[in-house]
A and B are shown apart, each in its own frame.
Chain A
Amino acid sequence: MKHKTKITGLMAAMLLTTASFAQAETLRLLTWGSYAPEELVQKFEERYPDIDVEVTFSNNEEMIAKLRATGGAGFDLAQPSHDRIHAAQMEYDIYKPLDLSKIDTSVMEASHLEGVKANTTIDGEVYAVPHQWGTSGLMANKAVAPDFKGWGDLCDPQYQGKTSMRLKRTILLGTAFSMGHDPFAAYSDLDKYQQILDEVAEKLIECKANIKAYWKGGDDLSAMMLSGEIVASETWDSTAYKLYGQNKDIVFVPPATGALAWIDTFALPRKGKADDAAYKWINFVLEPENVTIMSGSTGAIAAVKGGLELLPEDKRNAVTAAFTDADIANLKFFANIPAGVEDMEGKTLEKIKAATGG
């Protein structure tokens, strides 16, 4: 008797699970830390009660690593930056082409849309459309470092032990620009790029004594900046905007040679199973009121028409405090990373980290 109830129970449980599978579709998002605020997820699930949203937070490198491990399975929508689509697709075949007719591209800022399309078109198929954009640059505490304005200033002895940077490719590129090179142009000639990297490495090794520590994430950077342990740093703009909310002296400084701009995109993993739900999510977050919620969480600007106006007020103030129109015109968009460059940059970063420069 007992046996029987057990089996019936088991069967009921199985039926239940299959039933719930049949009913609800799951949308598995692979995205950045703040790109799926709880408020929006709830709103989305209310509008589409048959879709469950599952979110995995990650970053560019881990997104690609995760998708590579499964050949593009396990997620239905990914949000890598625009420069991380082409090479990853060529090398690992992890995305599938988008059906642009299912996306309301008319609301997107034309320049961003065209830029991302140009970056991510392979054999005539488009693999990504833009979502949010932002920049990497510098931030400084204007009360103590009013003249801070270029990548090179991080190494200015005036700020000895009071600056920080993240030892990743951004600082390599920024330093290259500040030394008068155009690293993106050199992507087509890797020997030249290696020369630039060697020069940059030399400069950054020399600079090591001037740096307090290399930051590793937004949290330790914020702590160092807010406590006054450092007065300036290389940063993501969104981190700087957040700090501006707490201390009006801390502002984002677009470097004189141009802030480095990235666009985070929407891309479909090759073996994603819920394309329709993914398209619904894309169109959903492009709606103006949802853009504001999203930007409030990400601190980045949506790549839609009038994206700046749709920012929440505090963020908009931080952006207008940081950027002039000339700065916006001077943005340097990250170029597609050709095969082999990650290795070259990785070696350079290792060399800098291993060097004893104080």
Chain B
Amino acid sequence: MQSDIKRLSLILLFAPFALWIALLIILPHMGMVVLSLREKVAPRVYEFGFGNYIDFINEPIYWNTLLRTGSMSILVTFLALLIGFPIAYYIAKIAGKRSRGALFLLCLIPLWVSDLIRAFGWILLLRETGVISTFLIRIGLIDQPIEFLYNDITVVIGLVYTVILFMIVPLVSTLDGMDNAMIEAGYNLGGNGFTVLRRIIVPYAMPGIVSGCIVVFMMTAGSYLTPILLGGKNSSWFTEQIYDQFITRFNWESGAAFGFLLLAFTSVVVWIGLRLTGQTLANTVAKS
């Protein structure tokens, strides 16, 4: 009787999650795979084949864009970690109990505004006739307006800003669990700041770092608005290619193939990242 109830409650608790995964993740992706393996031969006539994937390999523009998206996403992830770590450390370890909540809230506030509005915020600041350029002229630092917008650096800045919160949150929660005595012990044993950071804090925060990096990397590689709005003449982003295939070229087959390639590519990058740093999902993300 008891075990039946236990089993029932387990099933009931698990059902929404299982349904979500099956109906909204697995099923659509299977549909995408099937779609990506169809080749259009004539209007309303399709054949089974790998043509869409072969097209991708044969067209340097496509895989260059994918590699570009990948490498810029890695850069964004790295920068987000670099900037986010001290912030998270301050919130979790240095700030007082009271200010901690307020600081955390401050980090959350930008998330209440949609991506689109935040991108427009950057546009207002960075454009040639925007706030920063005008300000620099006003104080006499430059005499010609400068265009900060429409280049890759802007895209990176915008993306870091959009995703950094997803780096800070897991870091704060892992660092929060660390006993201050461990840091003190490190100093007592003669370690300097850097050694303590390298040998104690970073290893302890590893679960947070890994899960933060994975989330940030995936979000960046899959983002659409920010790179489109802030990017310049040469800034192609892979999601833009997918959108174009689906919407402007009515080529769902190839769009599906691209979508699948993006998923595969980001998964491989995450796997390589875990391998290179000697981490596994089991002892990092599962722990955090």
> Bound complex: CA of A111 vs CA of B44, how far in Å?
33
Q: Count A-B pairs with CB separation below 8 Å.
A: 73
Which of A26-34, A123-131, A208-216 lines the interface with chain B?
Answer: A208-216
Chain B residue contacts of A216, Cβ below 8 A? 228-229
Which of B1-9, B93-101, B240-248, B275-283 lines the interface with chain A?
Answer: B240-248
Q: A48-87 toward B: CB 8 Å interface, digit per residue (1/0)? A: 0000000000000110110010000000000000000000
Shortest CB distance A353–B (Å): 6
Chain A residue contacts of B271, Cβ below 8 A? none
Chain A residue contacts of B128, Cβ below 8 A? 227, 229
> Bound complex: CA of A346 vs CA of B247, how far in Å?
11
Near A by CB (< 8 A), chain B positions 219-278 give: 228-229, 232-234, 236, 241, 244-252
Question: Are the C-beta atoms of B149 and A213 separated by less than 8 Å?
Answer: yes
> Bound complex: CA of A349 vs CA of B245, how far in Å?
12
Total contacting residues, chain B, CB less than 8 A: 28
Q: Assess whether A180 is interfacial by the CB under 8 Å rule.
A: no
Q: Assess whether B166 is interfacial by the CB under 8 Å rule.
A: no
Question: Are the C-beta atoms of A213 and B65 separated by less than 8 Å?
Answer: no
- Contacts A65-B246, A227-B127, A229-B128 given; does A208 touch B233 at CB 8 Å: yes
> Bound complex: CA of A214 vs CA of B233, how far in Å?
6
Which of these, B61, B129, B233, B245, contacts A211 with CB under 8 Å?
B233
> Bound complex: CA of A343 vs CA of B249, how far in Å?
6
**SS class, residues of chain A in contact with chain B:** helix
Which of these, A64, A228, A342, A343, contacts B129 with CB under 8 Å?
A228
Chain B residue contacts of A339, Cβ below 8 A? 43
Interface residues on A, range: 35 or more
Q: Assess whether B150 is interfacial by the CB under 8 Å rule.
A: yes
Q: Assess whether A314 is interfacial by the CB under 8 Å rule.
A: no
Question: Are the C-beta atoms of A65 and B150 separated by less than 8 Å?
Answer: no
- Contacts A65-B246, A346-B248, A358-B233 given; does A213 touch B129 at CB 8 Å: no
Q: Assess whether A350 is interfacial by the CB under 8 Å rule.
A: yes
**Which has the most chain A C-beta neighbours within 10 Å: B44, B233, B249?**
B233
> Bound complex: CA of A62 vs CA of B229, how far in Å?
19
Q: B86-114 toward A: CB 8 Å interface, digit per residue (1/0)? A: 00000000000000000000000000000
> Bound complex: CA of A343 vs CA of B244, how far in Å?
10
Q: Assess whether B64 is interfacial by the CB under 8 Å rule.
A: yes
- Contacts A65-B250, A229-B127 given; does A356 touch B234 at CB 8 Å: yes
* CB nearest neighbor in A for B64: A354
Question: Are the C-beta atoms of B150 and A213 separated by less than 8 Å?
Answer: yes
Chain A residue contacts of B245, Cβ below 8 A? 346
Q: B64-89 toward A: CB 8 Å interface, digit per residue (1/0)? A: 11000000000000000000000000
Shortest CB distance A45–B (Å): 30
Given contacts A93-B44, A355-B234, 10 further A-B contacts (CB under 8 A): A64-B250, A91-B44, A208-B233, A212-B150, A216-B229, A220-B123, A223-B127, A342-B251, A343-B249, A357-B233
Query: Which B positions have Cβ atoms within 8 angstroms of A?
Result: 43-44, 61, 64-65, 123, 127-129, 147, 149-150, 228-229, 232-234, 236, 241, 244-252
Query: Which A positions have Cβ atoms within 8 angstroms of B?
Result: 61-62, 64-65, 68, 88, 90-93, 168, 208, 211-214, 216, 220, 223, 227-229, 339, 342-343, 346, 349-351, 353-358
Can you spell out 5 A-B residue pairs with CB atoms less than 8 angstroms apart?
A: A61-B247, A342-B248, A342-B250, A346-B245, A346-B248
